[in-house]
Each structure stands twice: as C-alpha cells, then as structure tokens.
Amino acid sequence: MKIEGTETLHAPRDRVWALLDDPQALASCTPGMQELRPTGPDEFEAVLSIGIAAVRGTYKGKLRITERTPPERYAVQVEGSSGAGFVRAVGVLELEDQGAQTGVRWSGEVQVGGALTLGSRMIPGIARMLAGQFFQCLDRKLQEGSA
C-alpha cells in the first residue's frame, strides 16, 4: 500500500540535508529505533521496537540507502521481521528549498506479511503517525541546532 505526505521543517535545505545524511541523527529520530549498525557503504542492520498500544513487536532487519542526490532526494529500503510477521518498505524523501524553511515531500510503499496483515487497514494511519513523530523530532533537532 502506498502512503505519502508533506511536512515543513524550519531550517534551510542544506542543514536539513546534513541532518538526514547523519545516520545517528536519523536513528535517534526514528520511533522505536534501538540499534543501527553500519554493515557496509549505505547499509545498516537495525533493531526496532515498534508498539501501537498492545501490538508491540521487536523487528530485526536491514536498512539500505538506495539513492542520494544532495541536497534534494533521498531513498531508503527497509525490511524487517518479528514474531508477528514481516514489513518491507521503500521510502523517498524530496526536499524543496523554501529559503529559511524546507518543504519535505515523502512517500512510501509498504508491504506486510504474516499475522500483521490482519491489521492492514490501520497500517497507513499508523505509518503516517510514526512519520509525523519522525519529522517532529527532526524539526526539534534543527531548531535546537540553530538556537
């Protein structure tokens, strides 16, 4: 299923790019990210603990940066699995220069399997909620950095 959204980050585009290009900053803003370990150029092993109410799972998987066009476009591929099933996703971020601000257009294609498919009607809503938390965290970091 496909999900997309737009956000505004309150910092110039080159600063947003620098933050997105820093795996540790990304990891600290990704909801539930417990571990992000580089395994090669642009490849990581990740452990995520994602919980929506009682439905909580620890996902182990791989994260790969598949495209990087500074300072405007960034694409990642994620796959992970837990006892409850698997998740595969590709995401694209596009940054638009708006002077002191940066417009972010994001889209993702998410696939789930196993018992998780039972909740599939809620996955777009949940993904959007998690994406919102991710961008809020980035924005906070950007504003702290400029203060």
Binding residues for other proteins, rule: CB under 8 A, are 1, 3, 51-57, 83-84, 115-116, 118-122, 124-126, 128-129
Closest to other proteins by CB, 22 vs 118, is 118
Closest to other proteins by CB, 65 vs 116, is 116
Phi, then psi, of 102 in degrees rounded to 5: -130, 130
Beta carbon of residue 102, minimum distance to other proteins (angstroms, whole number): 24
Closest to other proteins by CB, 11 vs 112, is 112
Do residues 111 and 88 lie in contact, with contact meaning Cβ atoms separated by under 8 Å?
Answer: yes
Count of CB atoms situated within 10 Å of the CB of 76: 19
Beta carbon of residue 132, minimum distance to other proteins (angstroms, whole number): 9
Beta carbon of residue 127, minimum distance to other proteins (angstroms, whole number): 10
Q: List all residues 6 or more positions away from 91 whose beta carbon is below 8 Å from its beta carbon.
A: 75, 76, 78, 106, 107, 108
